[in-house]
Amino acid sequence: MLYFNGQYLALTIKTGLITGILSLTEGIAVGRTFASLQNYQVDGNKEMMAIGLMNMAGSCTSCYVTTGSFSRSAVNYNAGAQTAVSNIVLAAAVLVTLLFLMPLFYYTPNVILAAIIITAVIGLIDYRAAYKLWKVDKLDFLACICSFFGVLFISVPLGLAIAVGVSIFKILLHVTRPNTVVLGNIPRTQIYQSLNRYKEASRVPSFLILAIESPIYFANSTYLHERMLRWVREEEERINESHESTLKCIIIDMTAVSAIDTSGIDMLCELRKILEKRSLQLVLVNPVGSVMEKMHKSKILESFGMSSMYLTVAEAVGDIAASWKPQP
């Protein structure tokens, strides 16, 4: 009988949800690990359906909640198994052992069982990949180390949960703190690239050219607004110290902005108003199709005007600089 009441119902639901998420994460992680070794692909949707149906069928006979076991998969892989028939043989062997051979294994030391698992798993440790993660992305390396030591010293579910938590933190960090760069012109070309990455790139007098390298959402619109104004203040301070020509125009390259919401649109409007009060012109360059459609529906293009929208940075710089020259 199934009872959907009682003092332990909330705890059961919470435990079931957490167990299901960790089981799915572990199963897919194990599957992709061995898929990379054998050069084939794993479909996450099919893995989720298989684990769900397996546990639903097992619950009818009071089976233990299970998933794709890492240690058994490693033993299976090292034994040379090629097809799913090996799982049937393994299940039959476990059934026979549980029914008839348990007295023989009762006194088997745990160290022997641990040695079997360690022998099968130790070949999967790839320290070169960990070193590559350290060189490429420190947060990926942190997730790797947390997962490794969590699984090694605590448990597989908790180790994977820590790694997933670090990965989610990384995603949130990138979403809420998107990268913005100052662009400069590469001499004798129409190309504009980051001043930090290209030493030969040079600033264009009277222009501050910025690039946003992420979508603009409510989660990062406030940060981008403050970051843009800080770029403007830093540029004005630099101009005053070096006695260069006055800053007149800010160009925002939106080539990498793949999406925008209403908070992002409001941020651009507010930024334009603030810059206009400081006698600075704001120009947008190359918004992608979906971004352009939302800006058109929100009527923001009417406030900006077509003279503040360009397809390329070079076109914007050339056209605006020409409008500043005195007419004969």
In the β-sheet with 249-253, what is the strand arrangement from edge to edge?
192-194, 180-185, 207-212, 249-253, 281-285, 309-310
Element at 102 (helix H, strand E): helix 102-105
The residue type at 249: C
Closest to 50 (Cα-Cα) out of 71, 80, 30, 33: 30
Query: What is the spatial distance between Cα 154 and Cα 165, in angstroms, rounded to a whole number?
Result: 16
* pLDDT given at position 326: 60
- The CATH classification of domain 180-324, taken from the options 3.30.70.20, 3.30.750.24, 3.40.50.2300, 3.20.20.30: 3.30.750.24
Low-confidence ranges of the chain (pLDDT < 70): 1-2, 71, 120, 124, 326-328
Query: What is the spatial distance between Cα 319 and Cα 313, in angstroms, rounded to a whole number?
Result: 10
